[in-house]
Amino acid sequence: MSKFKTVIWPTVILFGDSITQFSFQVNGWGADIADKLARKCDVVNRGLSGYNSRWAKIVLPRLISSQSSAENNNIAAVTVFFGANDCALEDKNPQQHVPLHEYSENLKEITGLLAAAGVSADRVIFITPPPIYEPAWEKECILKGCPLNRHNSVVGQYAQACVQAAAQCSTDVLDLWTLMQKDGQDYSVYLSDGLHLSEKGNQFVAQHLWRLLQSRVADLPFILPYWGDVDAKSPESSLLCDQ
């Protein structure tokens, strides 16, 4: 039987669609967060490209089991970042579209599923979909042989529903749709194709999300001793301690 304590790393789980899945790419917002938390916390990418909130609530119990509540207590935070696919126009993209009211209810259900697994609402952060830059996204749609299938005004309705759901669930929320358009700024610079994030957009998300994450991870200790503090003559005494 092992005489030393296994090192258990806290986790931050990023749960969302393609904007989350792509967040570990070079200069991605998820990679930035993971870099900030190195030696303190594992950042786990659970982004599922193309998914909407309806599918998300179905698969969530497969990703975070309620049978592992003790393990889930080690989850420092979970980001829930859906809506960019839910808001697709029903007549143009019925497969991904989720009605506004159902989207709101799905977010609440996701919070409930997390709570049932031992992840309390104060550890959950909702992220609204970013704005859509229609001229660029329309070009992408035409290349795929379909008409423009999202409108920024509709995205705004889903963003507002996300903010309201967060208030009802007592979770934090990062309202990208509003922040990226604040003071009439040119938000197209935050988007690579009108829908997904550009390098500048990734920086924007990382910067604003970190402000919300900091309070949840500030007290996490540096895992395993700094190399300069290891006793060179008896490294076991430093490396097999409970730190």
Q: Is residue 17 a part of any domain in this protein?
A: yes
Tens of pLDDT, residue by residue over 145-163, are 999 999 999 999 999 999 9
Of 211, 77, 95, give the one whose Cα is nearest residue 149: 95
Residue 70 banded pLDDT, cuts 50, 70, 90: low
Tens of pLDDT, residue by residue over 79-127, are 999 999 999 999 999 999 999 999 999 999 999 999 999 999 999 999 9
Q: What is the pLDDT of residue 79?
A: 98
Please confirm, yes or no, whether 91 is among the known catalytic residues. Answer: no
Tell me phi and psi for residue 72, to 5 degrees: -70, -20
Task: Calculate the alpha carbon distances from 157 to 28, 86, 212, 213 in Å.
Answer: 26, 11, 23, 25
Q: Is residue 6 a part of any domain in this protein?
A: no
How many Å apart are CA 107 and CA 157, to the nearest integer?
Answer: 14
Which residue in the list 53, 97, 104, 196 is annotated as catalytic?
196
Q: Is residue 126 a part of any domain in this protein?
A: yes
How many Å apart are CA 187 and CA 51, to the nearest integer?
Answer: 24
Please confirm, yes or no, whether 193 is among the known catalytic residues. Answer: yes
Q: What is the pLDDT of residue 149?
A: 96
How many Å apart are CA 14 and CA 125, to the nearest integer?
Answer: 10
Q: What is the pLDDT of residue 8?
A: 86
Q: Is residue 83 a part of any domain in this protein?
A: yes
Please confirm, yes or no, whether 35 is among the known catalytic residues. Answer: no
Q: How many domains does the chain have?
A: 1
Average pLDDT over residues 198-227: 94
CB count within 10 Å of CB 174 equals 22
Domain range enclosing 144? 11-239
Mean confidence (pLDDT) of the chain: 94
CA angle at 121 for the pair 205 and 18, rounded to the nearest 5°: 35
Q: Is residue 5 a part of any domain in this protein?
A: no
Residue 1 banded pLDDT, cuts 50, 70, 90: very low
Q: Judge contact between 192 and 201, C-beta under 8 A.
A: yes
Which residue in the list 35, 122, 193, 231 is annotated as catalytic?
193
Tens of pLDDT, residue by residue over 182-199, are 999 999 999 999 999 999
Q: Is residue 115 a part of any domain in this protein?
A: yes
- Quickly list H helices, 73-229: 100-116, 134-143, 152-169, 176-179, 199-217
Tens of pLDDT, residue by residue over 12-36, are 999 999 999 999 999 999 999 999 9
Q: Is residue 2 a part of any domain in this protein?
A: no
Which residue in the list 18, 188, 198, 238 is annotated as catalytic?
18
Q: Is residue 3 a part of any domain in this protein?
A: no
Q: What is the pLDDT of residue 4?
A: 74
Amino acid found at 119: V
CATH number at residue 55: 3.40.50.1110
Q: Judge contact between 196 and 140, C-beta under 8 A.
A: no
Q: Judge contact between 39 and 223, C-beta under 8 A.
A: yes
